[in-house]
Amino acid sequence: MMQCNTTFEVLCAGADRIGAGENGRIVWGNGVVTLVFDVRDDAPVRLVGMSGRGMRAVDANIAGEPDAQPIVELRSSIDSGGDNRLQLAKSAAGMKLRFVEAYRHTPADPTAPDALYRLSIVQRDPQGGPTVISVFEACPQLSAVRTYTRLSCAERYPVEAVSSMNATLPLAAARLTDDQTMIYWGENSWDLENAWHCQPLRSTSLRDRDQKVNPGTSSARFAFRSSSTWSTGEFSPTGIVEGFSEAPESRPFAFIWQIEHNGAWEWEIGEDDPGVRISAYGPEYADHQWFTMLGDGNEFTSVPVSFAVCGGDWQQAVAEMTIQRRETRIRHARELGRADEFDRMELRVVYNDYMNTLWGNPYIEQELPLVEGAYKAGADVFCIDAGWYDDADGGWWDMVGDWEPSVDRFGAVRLTGLIHDIQSRGMIAGLWLEPEVMGVRCQLAQMMPDSAFFCRHGARVADQGRYHLDFRSPIAREHATRTVERLISEYGVGYFKFDYNTTPGAGTDLDTDSVGAGLLEHCRAVQDWVDGIRRAHPDVMIENCSSGAMRADYAMLSRLDMQSTSDQADPSIYAAIAAGAGMAILPEQQGNWGYAQEEMDDETAVFTLTAGILGRLYLSGFINRMGERRLALVRDAVALHRRVLDEQGHLMPWWPDDLPDFNGPWLAYGLRHNHAIAEAVYPDVAALMDGNEHVEYLAVWRRGGVDSMYLQLGHGAHVRQVFPDPGQPDHAPGARPWTVEHVDPDTVRLTVSDSERPSARIFAVSYDVR
């Protein structure tokens, strides 16, 4: 994807300058997704129609949505809201924008790896103020668009909010009403990630006020936001709206979006007169203390947002966003010159010594047996987690920053000897690292200037005994780079777990327009720093962690290989986290812990391993204490996981029992092929599907309640248990196979073998006819 800070000249290079057609419309797309814009002399440009895969294609002659909103919302302290509403939409400055010109770039070869369709729409207030450029980008064969906004101004102009996306949904075109929509959103907190919910629009804050009696745009909104740098610390930057009706004339569709930023963001759903609008922002003034002063050479680009629109339900929308996320990742890897390394890293199995094991307190006497156990289990990577640098036996929190190995923990062999032991067994050595912080007791922190840290009110920002480095500072970046370079060159580290447990609050007031602007600039500097590390060391694998998944956004995940999905230590709760992860994280990036222990009964060991097999199995636990039978079960999990990894890059998340209930007794999550997507994006896979030569996977957890679950898997489904392997009953004799029964041609009943305790199984699903 084109970097969002690309200059306007580069955006327009090789592009055709276009205007509106005779009917005042601009139609743009990639042959799968189509957007129709309405251009008038007396109004800002509006998005009046859209279509995607599985929908009736829109064109310039559509009637358009009855109350379509401007494609940009722009707020300034000198000209803010268009009315007295609390919502970010209906901005006065945005309503004054008028079309100037547009540029359309069409790739000469749509099959080229870097082929990209782009539309840039330029608007300006005729009375003065900023030039606003809305950029839309689409990859070939995808039903998704990436969009952002660029601002520039010849004179000083304060901006307090600008949307990256302001989309009016195609309800009228789908012959649906506002009442026939469902909203999907995700809640996150430490140890409780991926709790997804859905409600009818009318059951949220967007209640029916009777628009006939009370015309005009509603002041209500359904909104979520992040704060500081835990971008997913409370809510997901991803959301879905689904339009559906049983009426035969309706055309169900779904719209999904994600804000791709590792800092502050906000999205809101609002109701028009009639219609439903979705607005997405990076930081803004009211909630994030952000503003920027245009002019004097200062231009601004909003954070990027990806969205996808398609016919069908919310699961089809997730599938479309899944391939958008995949395409974003691989394109970024190509831009950094590491495409080959990217492919290899997708197949690695990682063991980490932290979860339910050493808990950040490593010693050589514990590590060496764990290394042997991880090797026997079949791991490719052994990651030494937190504490490897701590000489103070507990100072690993407020003394971090020097990142020198402890002289007390690893005996005569030191850390070098431990890493050599890992490498001698053919595994890659990994280290935990928190490069963006320094403890207040770190001596190096006292030697660095305040400008290298977040500061407010004339002093460094401290959070629980830690300072936060400001990556705008060359000194801060140099320190982090030097640390990584040294650990690679001196110790041969080939894997990093980048953790992130400290947030700096609203931002920094040092050398910036606003506290929020300082935070945004830092977050973007972090992205650039990660790019530099990846470019210099393309063969080093990097995990994204932040007290679990508190920063699991696609600014970070487009750059990094794997995401720790939680710090949750209870397998029963982790099942819900794993079951919902596919809504916001690619399966191949979901680092779901599997922390089997020797003392667990067979059902519990199977239960925890099941969480990781369909994502990225992230092994932990005292694997060295396992007897041969338990170790064989772990090896079975690794072997099945490797089979999944071979196919995972073209499989889509799947929830046959609908949206997972975080607190529910049963959970079902799987990976399946999507024929419509495969035909366009993965033709070899489509051929296998046509010949019924493919397998889909399904993980099912039973945490309580009744002993049977009914799943509608479709006509001709064959369901076969693959974990634990029924062919190896001695590997988990206490976890007998579940019973699989067809109750009708489309429905399967799964019945547990032991109703007294929680249990889980993984099944392979194949079909006679598709």
Are 519 and 660 part of one and the same domain? no
Phi/psi of residue 503, each to 5°?
Answer: -115, 150
Domain check: are 489 and 420 in the same one? yes
Query: What is the reported pLDDT for 83?
Result: 55
What is the reported pLDDT for 273? Answer: 79
Same-domain status, 328 and 341: no
**Predicted local distance difference test score (pLDDT) of residue 1:** 56
* pLDDT at 207 exceeding the cut of 90: no
Domain assignment of residue 425, yes or no:
yes
86 band by pLDDT with thresholds 50, 70 and 90: low
Q: Is residue 535 part of a domain?
A: yes
Residues 108 and 244 grouped into a single domain: yes
Domain final position from 333, 362, 396: 333
Whether 527 has a pLDDT exceeding 90, the answer reads yes
Do 672 and 729 lie in one domain? The reply is: yes
pLDDT, greater one: 388 or 691: 388
| pLDDT (0 to 100) of residue 214 | 74
Residue range 719-764, pLDDT digits in tens: 999 999 999 999 999 999 999 999 999 999 999 999 999 999 999 9
Confidence of residue 292 (pLDDT cuts 50, 70, 90): very high
Q: Which residue has the tokens 């770039």?
A: 105
329 plus 421 within the same structural domain: no
pLDDT tens-digit map of 221-264:
999 999 999 999 999 999 999 999 888 888 999 999 999 999 99
Of all residues in the chain, the percent with pLDDT exceeding 70 is: 96
- Please, which pLDDT band fits residue 80 given cuts at 50, 70 and 90? low
Residues 567, 499: Cα–Cα separation, whole Å: 12
Residue at 615 is within a domain: no
**620 within some domain:** no
Give the pLDDT of residue 247. Answer: 84
Q: How confident is the model at residue 11 (pLDDT cuts 50, 70, 90)?
A: confident
State yes or no: pLDDT of 17 exceeds 70. Answer: yes
DSSP one-letter string for 63-114: ---TTPPBS--EEBTTB-BSSS-SSS-SBHHHHT-EEEEEEEE--S-TTSTT
Q: Is 529 helix (H, G, I), strand (E, B) or coil?
A: helix
- What is the C-alpha separation between 649 and 679, in angstroms, rounded? 15
Residue with the larger pLDDT of the pair 642 and 398: 642
User: Are 267 and 386 within one domain?
Assistant: no
Kindly state the DSSP code that residue 354 receives in the 8-state scheme: I
Rounded mean pLDDT, 514-522: 98
DSSP letter, residue 303 = P
What's the mean pLDDT when you consider all of the chain? 94
Measured in residues, the chain has a length of: 770
Listed residues 308, 333, 358: the one ending a domain: 333
Tokens 């840039």 locate to 120
User: What CA–CA distance (Å, rounded) separates 654 from 467?
Assistant: 42
User: What is the predicted pLDDT for the residue at 82?
Assistant: 52
Residues 436 and 469: beta-carbon distance below 8 Å: yes
Q: What is the CATH number for 681? A: 2.60.40
pLDDT band for position 770 (50/70/90)?
low
**Cα dihedral 290, 295, 297, 303 sign:** positive
Identify the residue whose tokens are 């109701």: 271
Q: Is residue 613 part of a domain?
A: no
Tell me what pLDDT residue 397 has. Answer: 84
What pLDDT does residue 216 have?
Answer: 67
**108 falls within a domain:** yes
Among residues 666, 646, 644, 642, the alpha carbon closest in space to that of 655 is found at 666
Q: Which CATH number do you get for residue 196?
A: 2.70.98.60
- Residue at a domain's end among 545, 564, 583: 564
Sign of CA pseudo-dihedral 164, 107, 5, 537: positive
In this structure, are 300 and 340 located in the same domain?
no
pLDDT of residue 133: 98
**Pair 367, 326 in one domain:** no
Amino acid at 370: L
Q: What is the pLDDT of residues 707-729, one digit of tens each?
A: 999 999 998 899 999 999 999 99
- 552 and 676 fall within a common domain: no
Give the mean pLDDT of 285-306: 96
End-to-end CA distance of the chain: 35
Query: Residue 506: which CATH number?
Result: 3.20.20.70
Cβ within 8 Å of residue 21, ≥6 positions away: 27, 60
Domain of 676?
A: 654-767
161-185 pLDDT per residue, tens? 999 999 999 999 999 999 999 999 9
Same domain assignment for residues 378 and 306: no
At 23, is the pLDDT very low, low, confident or very high (cuts 50, 70, 90)?
very high
Residue 220 has a pLDDT of 83
Quick one: 315 and 410 in the same domain?
Answer: no
pLDDT (0 to 100) of residue 394: 67
In a domain, 574, yes or no: no
Report the candidate in 205, 165, 203, 200 with the shortest Cα–Cα distance to residue 184. Answer: 200
Domain count, the chain: 3
Domain contains 322: yes
